[in-house]
């Protein structure tokens, strides 16, 4: 179900509020450039600082603007199982194609707790669910054995966005899970290696600014044009490194502001990028040909 380049969308703000008009424009930009799906209200979308009303509204806007032209995978995870179920039920009712569920953060549940959390959410809805494993932010890793048990016991839990950075772990997931369970890269720099071990795509940050290139890289790999996919990978790599100079989404939103794509405003505790790193980011944008 989940293939190609899926963009983890930024949430544009204007005067501290969600900029609905700009968000709709950014979605159309993604569609026009070959993106296969979008994730509103993920890490890149600053979901942690959206209130419930804003969170629901951003997902509704995404669904309305996408109009089934591309998939909308709503970020509805939480460290509270009850809240995650509430958000996911809303996304399902609003018409989302699927849900992205990040592992609970801060409370650091055991593997048994992770299993119970995700199973409760999967049992509460019918839409497909993609797990999101990112221990660097949440403090807990979803072990491959736990993912495999969930994939076996929950029919609608069908994929994982893996941001552990470990190809060894991702290989174990592919080995332990059912053949149709989908693995997607959660790190832009690892997209090509993940595809090589059986991954189906990427949930990308850098595709906020270069969606066509990310989509092309995945597409060329799928067509067997490995040489061309590798060329795009190495072209993208310096830009990818630049958009992770500081905590995501600070650099990518700053880049979008520099390129005139949206206001670069962030919500505290996310703060403006340092002047030194901004210069490095501008150099990467110039080198890529995006900025004169």
Q: Domain range holding 93? A: 4-223
Residue 66 forms part of a structural domain = yes
Mean pLDDT of 44-56: 97
Give the angle 122-77-152 at the CA atoms, nearest 5°: 30
| Total count of domains within the chain | 1
Cβ(281)–Cβ(242) under 8 Å? Answer: yes
Q: Reduce the DSSP state of residue 58 to 3 states and report it.
A: helix
Mean pLDDT of 252-275: 97
User: Rounded to two decimals, what is the model's pTM?
Assistant: 0.97
Residue 99 forms part of a structural domain = yes
115 in active site: no
Which residue among 22, 132, 149, 253 is the active-site one? Answer: 132
pLDDT at residue 238, rounded to an integer: 98
Residue 233 forms part of a structural domain = no
132 in active site: yes
pLDDT at residue 104, rounded to an integer: 97
Which residue among 22, 149, 161, 253 is the active-site one? Answer: 161
> Which tens digit of pLDDT belongs to each residue from 127-153?
999 999 999 999 999 999 999 999 999
pLDDT at residue 16, rounded to an integer: 93
pLDDT at residue 248, rounded to an integer: 98
pLDDT at residue 283, rounded to an integer: 98
Residue 117 forms part of a structural domain = yes
Residue 290 forms part of a structural domain = no
Residue 72 forms part of a structural domain = yes
Mean pLDDT of 248-258: 98
pLDDT at residue 29, rounded to an integer: 98
Residue 44 belongs to a domain with what CATH number? 3.20.20.70
Residue 96 forms part of a structural domain = yes
Closest CA to 12 of 282, 261, 278, 290: 261
What's the pLDDT band for 236 if we cut at 50, 70, 90? very high
Residue 264 forms part of a structural domain = no
């Amino acid at each position: 179900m989940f293939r190609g380049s899926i963009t983890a969308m930024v949430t544009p703000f204007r005067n501290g509020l969600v900029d609905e008009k700009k968000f709709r424009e950014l979605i159309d930009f993604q569609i026009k450039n070959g993106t296969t799906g979008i994730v509103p209200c993920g890490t890149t979308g600053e979901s942690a600082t959206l209130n419930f009303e804003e969170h629901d509204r951003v997902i509704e806007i995404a669904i309305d603007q996408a109009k089934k032209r591309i998939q909308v995978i709503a970020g509805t995870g939480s460290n509270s199982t009850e809240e995650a179920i509430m958000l996911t039920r809303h996304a399902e009712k609003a018409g989302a194609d699927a849900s992205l569920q990040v592992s609970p953060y801060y409370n650091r549940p055991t593997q048994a707790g992770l299993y119970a959390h995700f199973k409760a959410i999967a049992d509460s809805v019918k839409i497909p669910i993609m797990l999101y494993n990112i221990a660097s932010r949440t403090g807990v890793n979803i072990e491959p054995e736990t993912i495999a048990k969930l994939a076996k016991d929950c029919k609608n839990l069908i994929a994982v966005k893996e941001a552990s950075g470990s190809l060894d772990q991702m290989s174990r997931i592919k080995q332990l899970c059912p053949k149709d369970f989908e693995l997607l890269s959660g790190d832009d720099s690892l997209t090509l290696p993940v595809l090589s071990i059986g991954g189906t795509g990427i949930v990308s940050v850098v595709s906020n600014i270069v969606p066509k290139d990310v989509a092309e890289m995945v597409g060329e790999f799928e067509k067997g044009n490995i040489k061309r996919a590798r060329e795009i990978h190495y072209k993208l790599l310096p830009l990818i490194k630049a958009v992770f100079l500081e905590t995501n989404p600070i650099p990518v939103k700053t880049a979008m502001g520099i390129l005139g794509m949206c206001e670069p405003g962030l919500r505290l505790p996310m703060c403006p990028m340092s002047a030194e790193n901004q210069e490095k980011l501008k150099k990467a944008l110039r080198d890529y040909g995006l900025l004169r």
